[in-house]
A and B are shown apart, each in its own frame.
Chain A
Amino acid sequence: MRLLTKLACSLAALAVATGLALPDAAQAQDKKFKIYLSMSYSGNAWQTETSNLVKALAATPPYDKMVELKTVISGIDPQAQASAYESMISNGADAIISFPISATALNRSIKRGCKKGVLFFMYSGTVTEPCAHNVSYITAGFSQNTAQALVNMLHGKGNILLDRGVPGNSVDKQNYQGAMSVFSKYPNIKILQEYYGMWNDQTTQQETAKALASHPDVDGIWGQNGEGGILKAMLASGQQKLVPVTGENGNFFRLALINPDYVKRGLTGVSSGDPIATSAYAFKLMMEVLTKKRTLTLHNIQYPLPWVTPAQIKVCTGDTFVGGCNVFPAGKVPDSFNTEIFNPTLTPEVSLNSALNGTPTPGATIQPLPAEVTPAPNLPGINCEKCKAPADIYKLTVEQPTVQP
């Protein structure tokens, strides 16, 4: 019976696939779209996952017949990425999808490409050159909303630690200002220590362990990427009591938030932050523009902020995101695996294997995106030049205060 259902499903999928592919087939025979995926670095799980989603979608029907995708990794030097863009342009690229290493250093190459009709889509990171399209969660309010959530959990009073990112980094600075816009309103919230977790589990764990050893009177921790390290440091410190932690989308963190033992010991929190699916959304938008299904003039596009409370965490039993599940069992993926791969309206085509291996989901076909895109506010030096950030840039969008200062 199960086999029959499966067979029926695949047949239906095949029908849909061919149905969709037919009108494009003629075009595909003429010419495939030449698309480049330009990464600056591939040494971490986040970079690998985002690029794998792009590869998976490029291999999902009907795009598998229409797209010739080439990946170029140019290292952490902005000049190297700029010259990578240049050679893609001269090789006749139709479009370039990229994680930019710098917001400003790539502008000249991008401008030259735009003049030759090359489409530029940046995911997660942004550039200030207006002819490129930035698709990012960066303006969606991660830091102030998680800060407010922590204040709410602490009822407006307590000693906290701030886990920051990389010193001198513009995103770190922006996150810090967003968080401080909330914390500074509450005189009874006392920041005992800030430390730099460098957005990875290992450094975060070591730095948190040091901070916890010096400050046993911590009531809550505001974390960023690498939040799994915060929990591990707390668990290894030997203390029975756990405190609220806000963090990003690591698999270990989400599982811990629903671990009955930890919850009994006082752990609570919220999982938000940089979603992997941004790259997939950027790729789909780009393809709709390339295939003339959409006209897009917007420079800055906002990806919605993921926001998962402990009550919303649900463990996936298989490799796909059925029934709103959003975390995988321990051991199935690495602890630091970013689980925010899937979005039911924006990226329904992807599954776990898309993120792990870059392979398309069997039977999936590309689904159209909602017509509307959300414009992102200006951030000078980050996504625009000679512009002003709106006065309410750090307004709360998801979490509202439940305690007054």
Chain B
Amino acid sequence: MAETSASTEIAVRLRPLPTGIERELRTAVLLLLLAVVIVLASRFLGPGFGTLRQIQAILVIASFTMVASFGQQMVILIGGLDLSVGSFVTLGGILAFAWIGPNGWSLVWGIPAVLIVTGAIGALSGVGVAFLRIPPFIMTLAMGIIVYGVVLGVTGGLPRGHASPALGWLFHPNRLGPPPVIYLMILFTIFGTLLQTRTAFGRKVYALGSSPRAAYVAAIPVRGLTVACYAIGAAAGGATGIMVVGYVGGATLMMGQSYLLPSIAAVVVGGTAITGGRGIFLGAVGGAVLLTALSTIISSLGIAEGWRNIIYGVVILIALILLRDGIGLWLRPGRRRAQS
């Protein structure tokens, strides 16, 4: 009896899930498979291609984009866009470099402190969007410029601090195997995906992204939710900054610049609707891994930079076309017949 009620409870909990989840899971798995296929197919290119070491390198480098794209995705899911990711990566990195020193204990307060500061500033963007009705583009662009300006003014262009060996440890292979950051990313992916698909908070985010009006009518706290998503977005940027400092062992004012476009690309390639309401974090993770795998392999080919960029762009285009809904459905013969 107890068993039945438990299973009904699960069934009841599962039912209100957005209908697209299954399709999005499939997109995510397809992306990851595609990345694996590309890496394995590159084996014939040279001795180092397709090796475990190359896969490790790809995952380590993709980890920064993964975390940044989590924040980007939370904002895109509610129909926004975060152009300030780069500035928050820089801010998070510079604070981490300044606050988290050689002493391992400083991690305990340093990491939460960086996340709180970046999250709180990000919440201001949310306030601008939710209460002042400033378009997300403008709000986050302005916030990004302001944050960067403050960082430039305070550091004078020369960030000071100490590298943290404990953060660096995450990115080095050790006796137990691959760099620990890879395990951390697996946990983070599970956490992020569950937060989106299995919690009330996540479902409200999807509802808000699908139809703000309906969400409002359904008594979802639209403004609070918007502020929360922008805060998460900025804190994810801050977390990326902490990671980059661990990897590089230093901070510069340019450190965040290279993460804005990849964070958006990973989210979009990962099957998230740019208009909001649809997409899961596992998809963005798949997008980040695929894009990093592609760029790693293409840049390792001994060809000119111009051609590399052309190949990179064309492969992304093909991947997007292949992963489009129509093709995705086509891959499931049953559904296709039912439709036709």
Q: Which residue of B lies closest to A205 (CB)?
A: B248
Q: Which residues of B contact A202 (CB under 8 A)?
A: 244, 247-248, 252, 254-255, 258
Q: Which of B152, B157, B248 contacts A232 (CB 8 A)?
A: B248
What's the Cα separation between A325 and B61 when bound, in Å?
A: 36
Task: Decide yes or no whether B297 CB sits under 8 A from chain A.
Answer: yes
Please encode chain B, from 166 to 206, with 1 for each CB lying within 8 Å of some chain A CB and 0 for all others.
00000111000001000000000000000000000000000
With A213-B48, A214-B49 as contacts: A334 and B160 at CB distance below 8 Å: yes
Please encode chain A, from 44 to 80, with 1 for each CB lying within 8 Å of some chain B CB and 0 for all others.
1101110000000000000000000000000000000
What's the Cα separation between A215 and B252 when bound, in Å?
A: 28
Please encode chain B, from 147 to 162, with 1 for each CB lying within 8 Å of some chain A CB and 0 for all others.
0000010001111111
With A193-B299, A200-B252, A201-B250 as contacts: A213 and B157 at CB distance below 8 Å: no
**Which of A209, A210, A232, A235 has the most CB atoms of chain B within a 10 A radius of its CB?**
A210
Q: Which residues of B contact A216 (CB under 8 A)?
A: 47-48, 51, 53
A213 in contact with B156 (CB, 8 Å): no
Give residues 152-209 of A contacting B (CB, 8 Å): 167, 191-196, 200-203, 205-207, 209
Task: Decide yes or no whether A229 CB sits under 8 A from chain B.
Answer: yes
Q: How far is the CB of A53 from chain B (nearest CB, A)?
A: 13
What's the Cα separation between A380 and B96 when bound, in Å?
A: 45
Please encode chain A, from 242 to 276, with 1 for each CB lying within 8 Å of some chain B CB and 0 for all others.
00000000001000000000000000000000000
| Chain A: interface residue total (CB-CB under 8 A) | 42
Please encode chain B, from 37 to 48, with 1 for each CB lying within 8 Å of some chain A CB and 0 for all others.
000000001111
B160 in contact with A206 (CB, 8 Å): no
Give residues 267-289 of A contacting B (CB, 8 Å): none
Give residues 13-29 of A contacting B (CB, 8 Å): none
B58 in contact with A167 (CB, 8 Å): no
Q: Which residues of B contact A229 (CB under 8 A)?
A: 248
Task: Decide yes or no whether A212 CB sits under 8 A from chain B.
Answer: yes
Task: Decide yes or no whether B253 CB sits under 8 A from chain A.
Answer: yes
B252 in contact with A203 (CB, 8 Å): no
Task: Decide yes or no whether A387 CB sits under 8 A from chain B.
Answer: no
A44 in contact with B296 (CB, 8 Å): no
Residues of B bordering A, CB below 8 Å: 45-49, 51, 53-54, 56-58, 60-61, 102, 152, 156-163, 171-173, 179, 244, 247-255, 258, 295-297, 299-302, 305
List 9 additional A-B contacts (Cβ < 8 Å) besides A202-B255, A334-B159: A45-B157, A202-B252, A202-B258, A209-B57, A211-B299, A213-B53, A217-B47, A236-B173, A335-B249
Q: Could you list 23 examples of A-B contacts with CB < 8 Å?
A: A44-B252, A48-B158, A49-B158, A192-B302, A200-B252, A201-B250, A202-B255, A206-B61, A210-B295, A210-B296, A213-B51, A213-B57, A214-B296, A216-B47, A229-B248, A232-B249, A235-B172, A236-B171, A236-B173, A238-B53, A252-B249, A334-B159, A335-B163
